Structure 1
Amino acid sequence: MTPDLPVFNQQPLYHTDLGAAYVADSLDMLRQLPDNSINLVMTSPPFALQRQKDYGNKDQHEYIDWLTEFATLVYQKLTPDGSFVLDLGGAYQKGLPVRSLYNYRVLIRFCDEIGFHLAEEFFWFNPSKLPSPIEWVNKRKIRAKDSVNTVWWLSKTEWPKADVSKVLAEYSERMKKLIKDPEAYYSPAKRPSGHDIGSSFGKDNGGSIPSNLLQISNSEANSQYLKLCKEVGIQAHPARFPAKLPEFFIRYLTEPNDLVVDIFGGSNTTGHVCESEGRRWLAFEQLQEYLSASVFRFMQDQPIESIKTTFAELMENKIKHIKSNGQGKLF
């Protein structure tokens, strides 16, 4: 084990030189961590849906109390300049074409009762999301497709660690032309507000400042993770978020060797991204099959027999060390 990683009262299911994945209750694991020790908690908990899912979601009326237990501990364990990024999908009230406010109630409770600050609200737009809910969108045709998740960036202080220059977006073709020949496309002038933007638009800063609307498709039908799940004959985790989502916040809010924790690890997308970005990581997940299968993300270039053997050993609780090349791949 990497000596820089925290030590718990149980062994991880598998670990790399940068991180470790545990089949465990996150509340128990969080209690064991030192206060002020985590730089970022990046997670997507089971959503508060009306229909029970395989991955263990709660009913809406229970959800806020349940999630507040985790958030209270997260607040204690974050470094003073640390962040808690929470991806929450929307939901409708049971049997009605009216939206639930649970994700907004979560935000207000975390800030009012625990002490978090809302550093910024983000909205993850998934253009590949299928039309839902079926009753209101497909059948009765009285609502538009729900394709945006709220992503709350919460912080322990008003001044959390952050560097937007690490997540600059690629310039548009028009902007590239402007930078190449500013005088041909833009004449400096004052805006109606009186703000003088001068000739700053002609400067190449390496990219444009991203907005808080993150357009990231969650379509990985041909991903190696899914292919390997099928090859091994197991069900993939049904509620995965795309790697680009945690990647954005990990780059934005942390530095190499910082500690990132996913308290609802699922298929360990967060840990895999951390591995490639040089961050230390911890993943906690209660369902062993999902966490065992998450090792596929670190073994994508390996022979299928080796992958099957590793999965079988993990299901038998044989601890595995995954030697990584720093890019989330096994040697």
Structure 2
Amino acid sequence: MIDNFPPAYFTRNGATFIGDSRELLADLPDGSVNLVITSPPFALQRQKEYGNLDQHEYIDWFLDFGRLVHQKLKDDGSFVVDFGGSYMKGVPARSLYNFRVLIRMVDELGFFLAEDFYWFNPSKLPSPIEWVNKRKMRVKDSINTVWWFSKTEWPKADVTKVLAPYSDRMKKLIEDPDKFYTPKMRPSGHDIGKGFAKDNGGAIPPNLLQISNSESNGQYLSGCKAVGIKGHPARFPAKLPEFFIRMLTEPDDLVVDIFGGSNTTGQVAEAEGRRWMTFEALPEYVAASAFRFLDKGMTPEAMRSLYDRIAAGESVSIDEYRQQTALAL
């Protein structure tokens, strides 16, 4: 836990805190965090209800958080950040803010770029409307850049924890290499034998992550609907933090999300047996995010009670709350 800040709610493995992430991070011991993974408000030209800054102000603002993260990470720790792309104001030309953040994080703060990832969301709506739908001058923007920063050149990582399923063709090749492949020299000069036709439990994943963001009936949204509130408008899918949590951490490692939102990161970290903390400035988002940790079948009255207690500033044990509610039922 953080000494000077009580959690808004907590579970056996983690806790969510309401407040400015810079203050909350400052209270953590240096070198104590294994992974910080987050999706900050994007530097969009149109203001969003969850808050975002002008693109020129954004980079300096984000680097304030980056400095603190660098201090709090273990030497083999990682900082994974999901950045959405953006256009320059009023013209069909792309902003470079996410690339400027990348360069300054490395040049000024001492991070290393372990690898660049690209999240392809096939369910993303066409945008921006002006250039895609109306004037039909640009294709829809379906990719987010995801920068994997590390504190040193040698972050902890194990790709075998995130292997992708083999294709049907690869499965046949593994079963009978002689039938489906003849060793030969490739045009590049590499001599490809049959050694690769080995079952390693899955294929090495690429740095293009295809993950739809189309959740419509999960526990979180069900809770929001039951209580009569809107869900967070910029949630990322559970498969995104799951990939990096599995690859970059081990059970009982500490995972932190500094822009917690609806707390997808905490939910995944809890399921994966990691310790976790999430920080979020808006109490209403924190209160609603607690729905992710409730049992299915919880009554709307019970969910409303939990929401009101957290929003009012009470520190709630989710495990005790679930037990008390079960007894009351």
TM bin (shorter chain)? over 0.9
Correspondence for 2:11: 16
How far 1:303 moved relative to its partner?
1.7
Deviations 1:64-103 (Å, cap 9, x if unpaired)?
0000000011001100000000000000001000000000
Q: Partners of 2:158 and 2:184 in 1: how far apart?
A: 29
Are residues 1:29 and 2:30 paired?
A: no
Q: Partners of 1:121 and 1:48 in 2: how far apart?
A: 19
Contact 1:118–1:153 (8 Å) recurs in 2:
yes
Aligned-partner SS, 2:192? coil
Identity of aligned residues (%): 66
How far 1:223 moved relative to its partner?
2.4
Contact 1:8–1:29 (8 Å) recurs in 2:
no
Opposite residue 139 of structure 1, the aligned amino acid is K
- Equivalences for residues 1-331 of structure 1 within 5 A: 6-304=1-299, 305-323=301-319
Q: Partners of 1:237 and 1:168 in 2: how far apart?
A: 31
TM value normalised by structure 2:
0.95
How far 1:19 moved relative to its partner?
0.3
Deviations 1:114-151 (Å, cap 9, x if unpaired)?
00000000000000000000000000000000000000
How far 1:300 moved relative to its partner?
4.1
TM value normalised by structure 1:
0.94
Contact 1:75–1:114 (8 Å) recurs in 2:
yes
Q: Partners of 2:10 and 2:196 in 1: how far apart?
A: 46
How far 1:317 moved relative to its partner?
1.7
Correspondence for 2:323: none
Correspondence for 1:3: none
Structure 1's consecutive aligned runs of 4 or more residues displaced over 3 angstroms after TM superposition are none
Aligned-partner SS, 1:122? strand
Equivalenced residue count is 321
Q: Partners of 2:171 and 2:46 in 1: how far apart?
A: 48
Gaps of 5+ in 2: 321-325
How far 1:302 moved relative to its partner?
4.0
Gaps of 5+ in 1: 1-5, 325-329
Q: Partners of 2:119 and 2:4 in 1: how far apart?
A: 36
Aligned-partner SS, 2:138? coil
Opposite residue 283 of structure 1, the aligned amino acid is T
RMSD value, Cα: 1.4
Aligned-partner SS, 1:265? coil
How far 1:221 moved relative to its partner?
2.0
Opposite residue 109 of structure 2, the aligned amino acid is I
Correspondence for 1:327: none
Opposite residue 317 of structure 2, the aligned amino acid is H
Contact 1:225–1:300 (8 Å) recurs in 2:
no
